[in-house]
Chain A
Amino acid sequence: MGYSFLSLVREALRGQTGWRPAWRDAAPKPAYDAIVVGGGGHGLATGYYLAKEHGLTNIAVLEKSYIGGGNTGRNTTIIRSNYLLPGNERMYEKSMQLWEGLEQDLNYNAMVSQRGVLNLYHSDAQRDVYARRGNAMRLHGVDAALLNETGVRKLYPWLDFDNARFPIRGGLLQRRGGTARHDAVAWGFAHGADRLGVDIVQNCEVTGFRISGGAVQGVETTRGYIAAPKIGLAVAGSTSRVAALAGLRLPIESHVLQAFVSEGVKPLVDGVLTFGAGHFYVSQSDKGGLVFGGDIDGYNSYAQRGSMPVVEDVMESGMAIMPAIGRLRVLRQWGGLVDMSMDGSPIIDRTPIDGLYLNAGWCYGGFKATPGSGWCFAHTMARDEPHFINSALRLDRFATGAVLDERGAGPTPNLH
């Protein structure tokens, strides 16, 4: 079913009785041409682009629970393409360009809002680092503007500019960055993929792989065996566990990242703001709640809930730039499992097992990558080789030394 102005009017007149589900809740077939494991944003986007760009329509996306119940539905919804390293920047910018046309493409309102992402800087040295990153972005044809203090004051006059420890000196602004409605991204890709014939199979957990002669044959699931010559993993925080079923040991640790929502207030933060002297990022939802987060908890976790020291740290960081929120009450807090890679950058590649492909290592930043990741992964699966855009996001880069370490933090996942 399609969504349009006409369908809205029609349903308004019919008492909203004619809407049908946005996608079919398909039962698994015994065999497909390709299977994507994981019904988060990345898996659904992969299914969509496999069908749309590569004409593969006899395919399925298998989700162990309900679609979008993982990180897709838990993140702070920030989208941007402000990376330093070419190997990352071209993929995130591809993603940004796909966001810009996504809703028309999917016929679904994902509430993409290019409200601008502003990274605050607090010292001369930090300004230099941001200028360098802004220049790197512009060399890739991506928009970036370095604002001085006056420029930031025009946008956010109520920030704590004269904070004694972390005075605000300016910021790096990507105007095309912003937010998108996370659930609607999952639903939109599901809707788009379903319309092209992709089976979206929920409550179907992959519990094993059949591999023979070094090539994957199919997957064991809680709903029976399903054969496919090509299988792509897009299971985010569960990557190590699922890959271990195929005998793979990966450069990944699972960590918990928390998010917070305050009570609703009148419009205050009309873009996305980040604190440069700690880790804090905030935007305001259309309902008025401030949506914010900070660092991961910092130790391996599969608990999907956060710890108190990080709650305190996030609140303190927020107070350092916007003391005005001191009296706001926090309504909700939750955690999600992020797949922290050893260099802080993602992996979209083949694996040593023929027909088995890997999409992982998204760390904090995988939501913004959703369309680009799906697009690149679909290409990699369909053509059996990476596209130029994901050609640096290789699994073997840790062995060859071509790591993509934006922060220069070394092989310590909790520092990226």
Chain B
Amino acid sequence: MRIPCPHCGERGNDEFVYLGAAALTRPAADAPAEAWHSYVYLRDNPAGLHSELWQHTHGCRRWLVVARDTRTHAVFSATDAAV
């Protein structure tokens, strides 16, 4: 599996560190406990398209949002998480 880093070009996935689902919205500090439970612990865990966070630790060290198929490891896109 190779990830096309927008800054460094296409690299092997062993240059990157995985965090998990990217499509999670951090609740407000005073949001109810249920919202925090859901944010911290519950995951869609889809078999198919997954939007996820990878850090290019052995490259530019930027956090990337990667769109990948969890059944085939086909990578569709990688964009800088902050841009």
Contacts and interface: CB of A to CB of B under 8 A. Distances in A.
Interface of A: 240-241, 244, 249-254, 298-303, 307, 309, 342, 398-399, 411-414
A302 B71 contact: yes
Contact of A399 (B1, B37, B44): B37
Given A253-B20, A298-B18, A309 B13 contact: yes
13 contacts: A240-B44, A240-B46, A241-B47, A250-B43, A250-B45, A252-B45, A254-B45, A299-B54, A300-B45, A303-B73, A307-B13, A398-B42, A411-B40
Contacts of B37: 398-399
Interface of B: 1, 12-14, 18-21, 33-34, 37-38, 40-47, 50, 52, 54, 70-73
Counting chain B CB atoms within 10 Å of each CB, the highest count among A244, A398, A399, A412 belongs to A399
A251 B40 CA distance: 9
Counting chain B CB atoms within 10 Å of each CB, the highest count among A252, A302, A412 belongs to A302
Contacts, number: 68
Given A300-B52, A309-B12, A250 B42 contact: yes
Contacts of B43: 240, 249-253
A413 B73 CA distance: 19
Nearest to B72: A303
A241 B43 CA distance: 11
B20 A399 contact: no
Contacts of A253: 20, 43, 45
A240 B46 CA distance: 8
Q: Is the interface of B mostly helix, strand, loop or mixed?
A: mixed
Nearest to B73: A303
Contact of B50 (A298, A300, A309): A300
A307 B73 CA distance: 10
Contacts of A251: 41-43
Counting chain A CB atoms within 10 Å of each CB, the highest count among B13, B38, B47, B50 belongs to B47
A414 B42 CA distance: 15
A294 to B, nearest CB: 14
Contacts of A254: 45, 47, 70
Nearest to B50: A300
A252 B44 CA distance: 8
Given A250-B43, A303-B71, 11 more contacts: A240-B43, A241-B45, A241-B47, A251-B43, A299-B18, A299-B54, A300-B21, A309-B12, A309-B13, A342-B41, A412-B20
B66 to A, nearest CB: 9
Contacts of B47: 241, 254, 302
A303 B41 CA distance: 23
Nearest to B40: A411
Nearest to B15: A309
Given A252-B45, A253-B45, A399 B34 contact: yes
- For the complex of A and B, the 7 pairs showing the least CB-CB separation, nearest first, are A240-B45, A309-B14, A251-B41, A398-B41, A302-B47, A299-B18, A399-B37
Nearest to A412: B20
B70 to A, nearest CB: 5
Contact of A413 (B20, B40, B44): B20
